[in-house]
Amino acid sequence: MDRFMRTAIEEAKQGLLEGGIPIGSVLVKDGEIIGRGHNKRVQENNPIAHAEIDCLVNSGRVGKYSGTTLYSTLMPCYLCAGAIVQFRIKKIVVGESETFSGAKEFMELHGVEIIDLNIEECKQLMKDFIQNNPELWNEDIGELQ
């Protein structure tokens, strides 16, 4: 596992420590991390504070995103996939897509290269969280009944 995904996992764990959902993300350009973030929906009472959105916010104005790679511990949802497509980020590396399949086909349809690393640590973080917090998870993915 490379240092970029390791940093995204650190972000996910930070989110969990803060009482939030353990999803982390980093944005890389020219071999350097230019932004990092984690899901802060719970912490900030903000329904769109997903990890990838937080990462993009923390990256500031990048200008041209075509040379960047976004790392995320979980396959992005449609909200985050929309931002990825909007900013023309052409490559994402995800830790896993088993616990949540996200918007993979949507991104691929828009020319985004997706590399799914299928990392056990990422899967276990999400499995444990979903088991212990099913209502919060269902709220996060828009399936709260």
Cβ count near 95 (within 10 Å): 28
Active site residue 139: no
Helix (H) or strand (E) holding 137: helix 134-140
Alpha helix positions (H), 68-119: 78-86, 104-109
Catalytic one of 44, 52, 121, 135? 52
Answer for the pair 83, 16: CB distance below 8 angstroms, yes or no.
no
- Which residues are designated catalytic? 52
